[in-house]
Amino acid sequence: MLEAGAEAPDFEVRDHTGQLVRLSQYRGKSVVLWFYPKADTPGCTAEGCGFRDRIKLYDDKNVQVLGISFDTPPDQAVFAQKFGFNFPLLSDATREVGLAYGAADDSSAQYAKRISYLIDPEGRVKKAYPKVNAAAHPEEILADL
């Protein structure tokens, strides 16, 4: 995993609506980049709903939430619609972002590791979360802001 103080690697991937998203477009805001193994599975749903239910608190602190997994944009779209997610779900089907951030050991990884990063407004890692309790994590990050 990346360590606190490291520059967060920029990336460009599609979100659940098909739009291209770059990490660098969020400069000036903090970013929560949360990797999850698989769309529409119990832990990932609990974590996503936790962020969804607290999105106003994140917005008030000038924080952009970005979920990311190896699912395709159509799979992410179904997941986002089913649970009313109010933040982008990113598709890292090539595993390039997962490899850069330590969420995958190699390009053949079937699922992303459940890890997260808090990235500061200048694009540096403020905090890395190598072990995440899916249900408690959205509140944990709020406490760290």
Catalytic machinery residues: 44
Helix (H/G/I), strand (E/B), else coil: 117: strand
CA 14/CA 67 separation, integer angstroms: 12
For residues 125, 127, 72 and 59, what is the CA-based torsion angle, rounded to 10 degrees?
A: -90
> Quick one: which of 81, 80, 90 has its CA closest to 26?
90
CA 96/CA 107 separation, integer angstroms: 7
